[in-house]
Amino acid sequence: MIDVEKIRKDFPILERKIRGKKLVYLDSTATSQRPRQVMEAVRRFEETKNANVARSIHTLAEEATAEYESARDKTAKFVNAAESREIIFTKNTTESLNLIMRGWGEKFIKPGDRIVTTIMEHHSNFVPWQHLAKSRGAKFEVIDIDEDGKLKEDELDKVRGAKIFAFTAASNVLGTINDAKRLCKIARDGGAVSVVDGAQSVPGMPTDVKAMGCDFLAFSGHKMLAPFGIGVLYGRRELLEAMDPFLYGSEMIKKVDVNNATWNVLPHKFEAGTPPVDEAVGLGAAIDYLNGIGMENIRKHEEGLAKRLIEKIGAMEGVRFFGPRKANERTGLLAFEVEGIHPHDVAVLLDEEGIAIRTGHHCAMPLHMRLGMPGGTNRAGTYIYNTIDEIDQLAGSLGKIRKMLKR
């Protein structure tokens, strides 16, 4: 069990009042809050070591480079990558996925090839592949979900013979946790490169890219206690070596003359321009913090919160929730509809109570169309600092809102 009350003390923002009420932050699926330890690590870096990295040889520059590379080493260990150079720092998950689309996709996808993804994807793991298919004359195929919000077994056959299989390890709307290891094997056996969107899985459960057997994994720091502006792309070395760069210029070159340029070694080949150094330092500190709690413990905590969300919110009269019925098949979020009340009205009224949830299509329009919810849903997203009491508070407020607005 994790000590939530102790953890909460590390998050100054949780002491904030919203409209005179104690903040109940249930929007961590969009962005998590940051503990003091992360903010202090960034401030320490800025106060004592700030300099550009991998360029100058003065002491500050060497110390800054060491901090930046140490963040990469921590990230590699966190996801069990074989080597640190398989970790590329980007801005966010979206940029990581676009990097694969540009660097691998545009080089290797040919007319007539098939690219497969799923209907439960965030736009960031959907639109790049849709665009690639269009621009290369390839076919774009989408695996559907069943009534429980899981991928349809009989559609997994689409992966056989495809060039790319891009799927999310956990859905940001349904909460569904996919069996990424099995899906990567299906990709491998079918001859496809596997692209795993880990934006919702990496923050909340142990990740092991070797055991998973993925070719690529993308995730964002801001959903796992780190600052905005830092994302990660893990790629198997052979694939990264074979790819073209994504951005050109600065230190991503080995040699340039007036006619030609050659590329730096990994990971620098993919990190053109001054990288997000403070943010990487923050990510390193976030990983230390998460490791201090233990990812298995975080997973158990999220499962407990998911169970309460289903019991309290999912079971309310006039409320319909989406995704698997069992907490052990879900992350700690719940997307739901309050019958007859527009999601925006729900969110505005909850905000009056100090409760922050997300509403809208959560960057998953094709999924919302599939669910028959073109106007969007409400989503409560939990993390390590949320309590059972907060979920009960959400349930109480939703009950009041229903009574007030029921027609």
- Residues acting as catalytic residues: 363
Between residue 311 and residue 370, which ones bind ligand PLP under the rule CB under 6 A? Answer: 363
* Distance in angstroms (rounded) separating the CA atoms of residues 170 and 90: 21
Candidates 86, 197, 278, 329: give the one binding ligand PLP (CB under 6 A).
197
* 93: CB partners within 8 A, 6+ apart: 122, 124, 125, 197, 198, 199, 218, 219, 220, 231
The residue within the footprint of ligand PLP, chosen from 65, 117, 200, 331 (CB under 6 A), is 200
92 binds ligand PLP (CB under 6 A): yes
Stretch binding ligand PLP (CB under 6 A), from 194-202, 233-241, 334-342, 366-374 = 194-202
Stretches 48-56, 138-146, 197-205, 296-304: which one binds ligand PLP (CB under 6 A)? 197-205
The stretch near ligand PLP (CB under 6 A) out of 51-59, 121-129, 235-243, 324-332 is 121-129
Residue 164 to residues 158, 161, 294, 370: CA-CA distances in angstroms?
Answer: 11, 9, 33, 23
Give me the residue label for tokens 């009042």: 17
- The answer to whether 28 contacts ligand PLP (rule: CB under 6 A) is no
* Residue 124 in the binding site for ligand PLP (CB under 6 A): yes
Q: How far apart are CA 203 and CA 240, in angstroms?
A: 24
CA 243 to the chain's CA centroid: 23
Name the segment binding ligand PLP (CB under 6 A); options: 66-74, 88-96, 258-266, 300-308: 88-96
CB of 201 to ligand PLP, least distance (A): 8
Alpha carbons 155 and 265: distance in angstroms, whole number: 39
- 224 in Cβ contact with 286 (< 8 Å): yes
The number of CA neighbours under 13 Å toward the Cβ of 266 is 19
* Main-chain dihedrals φ then ψ at residue 234, nearest 5 degrees: -95, 135
Regarding 177 and contact with ligand PLP (CB under 6 A), the answer is no
Please tell me the distance from the alpha carbon of residue 361 to that of residue 363, in angstroms, as a whole number: 5
Query: Least distance (Å) from ligand PLP to the CB of residue 165?
Result: 16
Q: Contact, 189 vs 159, CB < 8 A? A: no
Draw the binding track, 137-176, toward ligand PLP (x: CB under 6 A; -: no contact).
-------------------------------x---x----
Positions in the binding site for ligand PLP (CB under 6 A): 30, 92-94, 122, 124-125, 168, 172, 197, 199-200, 220, 363
